[in-house]
């Protein structure tokens, strides 16, 4: 735990204080008037907020002291940009800014090489996100960021995800009073699964029994994600014909599966005894 008597960058975390919302607002009023002592006091009483966020990043292999200092930079940015006249709690505004600062630090120290142009675009996306967050005092969605940057949603998502820190197998995905569940605990090795291999083999055999046009329609429908209307236009038939061919082909595959040893037919017989 980070909340005990722990020293982080010379700060005794056990002695950190907090303030009620009314006193916090008074400090923000003083900060707007240029009171540096009020600003320092706001940092001090919100350090526990930084510590609580560090819990999410404690298994990333980075020294907690470093992440704590980076989180404090995010806290300072949140304090300097917070608009008191907006009816929102400071913590609601500060948390995404602190998280963003830590993620940016981890991303910049990532050993995976990302092209300079993609890094630049990702930085622009992050900057736009923070500007919209500051303006609206809420997390912007992808559509808003894309519209503001005159980009497609796909370009924004790609730029954002490309520079995210890789997920560690030792990151917790669930934790309560018992032992935490880590990423590695919920990922199974599907590549060498006997059942999956047999299913794949049976599907290939079933597809091989189809007529060329039936196979073309099923592959376009379920492997390429096309709609029946798109397939009809591609093949040169009506959507109703595509629907009938699709149903007939699926029925043929289902019948093939029932004839497979250990599948439907034998299981139905076993259920009858």
CB 258 within 8 A of CB 265: yes
Range of the domain at 260: 194-272
Question: Do residues 221 and 162 share a domain?
Answer: no
CATH number at residue 29: 1.20.120.1810
pTM: 0.43
pLDDT tens digits, residue range 228-252?
A: 888 888 888 998 898 888 888 888 8
pLDDT per residue as tens digits for the range 196-224:
544 555 667 777 778 888 888 888 887 77
Tell me the pLDDT tens digit for each residue of 42-79.
Answer: 998 999 889 888 888 877 777 888 889 999 999 999 99
Query: CA 133, CA 60: separation in Å to the nearest integer?
Result: 26
pLDDT tens by residue, 5-47: 445 555 555 566 777 878 888 999 998 888 999 999 999 899 9
* Residue 102 and residue 124 share a domain: no
Residue 263 within a domain: yes
32: in domain: yes
DSSP letter at 6?
A: -
What total number of domains does the chain contain?
A: 3
Q: What is the DSSP string of 26-81?
A: HHHHHHHTT-HHHHHHHHHHTHHHHHHHHGGGTTSSS-HHHHHHHHHHHHHHHHHH
Residue 178 is assigned to a structural domain of this protein: no
The reply to whether 163 and 204 lie within a common domain is: no
Both 49 and 124 in one domain: the answer is: no
Quote the pLDDT of residue 181.
60
Query: Maximum distance among all alpha carbons in the chain?
Result: 85
Residue 112: per-residue pLDDT: 57
**Are residues 52 and 122 located together in one domain of the fold?**
no
Output the domain CATH number for residue 216: 1.10.10.10
Same domain, 70 and 163: no
Q: How far apart are CA 195 and CA 204, in angstroms?
A: 14
Beta bridge mates, 11: 8
pLDDT score, position 269: 44
Q: Do 93 and 128 reside in the same domain of the chain?
A: no
Taking alpha carbons only, the member of 46, 72, 176, 161 closest to residue 112 is 161
d(CA 87, CA 171): 35
Residues of the chain above pLDDT 70, percent: 70
Looking at the fold, whether 153 and 238 belong to one and the same domain comes out as no
In a domain, 237, yes or no: yes
Closest CA to 119 of 65, 160, 152, 174: 160
The pLDDT, as a whole number, for residue 116 is 74
């Amino acid at each position: 735990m980070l909340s005990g008597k722990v020293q982080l960058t010379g700060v005794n975390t056990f002695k950190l204080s907090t303030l009620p919302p009314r006193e916090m607002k008074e400090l923000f009023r003083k900060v707007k008037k240029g009171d540096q002592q009020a600003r320092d006091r706001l940092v001090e009483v919100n350090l526990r907020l930084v510590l609580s966020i560090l819990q999410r990043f404690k298994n990333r292999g980075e020294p907690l002291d470093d992440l704590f200092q980076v989180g404090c930079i995010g806290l300072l940015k949140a304090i300097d940009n917070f608009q008191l006249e907006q009816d929102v709690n400071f913590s609601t505004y500060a948390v995404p800014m602190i998280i963003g600062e830590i993620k940016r630090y981890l991303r910049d120290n990532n050993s995976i090489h990302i092209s300079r142009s993609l890094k630049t675009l990702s930085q622009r996306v992050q900057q736009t996100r923070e500007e919209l967050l500051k303006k609206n005092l809420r997390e912007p969605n992808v559509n808003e960021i894309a519209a503001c940057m005159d980009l497609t949603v796909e370009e924004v998502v790609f730029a954002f995800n490309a520079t995210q820190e890789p997920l560690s197998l030792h990151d917790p995905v669930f934790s309560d009073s018992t032992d935490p569940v880590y990423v590695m605990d919920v990922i199974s090795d599907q590549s060498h699964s006997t059942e999956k291999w047999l299913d794949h083999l049976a599907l290939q055999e079933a597809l091989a029994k189809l007529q060329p046009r039936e196979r073309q329609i099923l592959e376009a429908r379920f492997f390429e994600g096309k709609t029946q209307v798109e397939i009809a236009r591609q093949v040169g038939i009506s959507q109703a014909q595509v629907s009938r061919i699709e149903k007939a082909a699926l029925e043929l595959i289902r019948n093939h599966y029932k004839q497979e040893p250990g599948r439907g037919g034998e299981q139905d017989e076993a259920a009858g005894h």
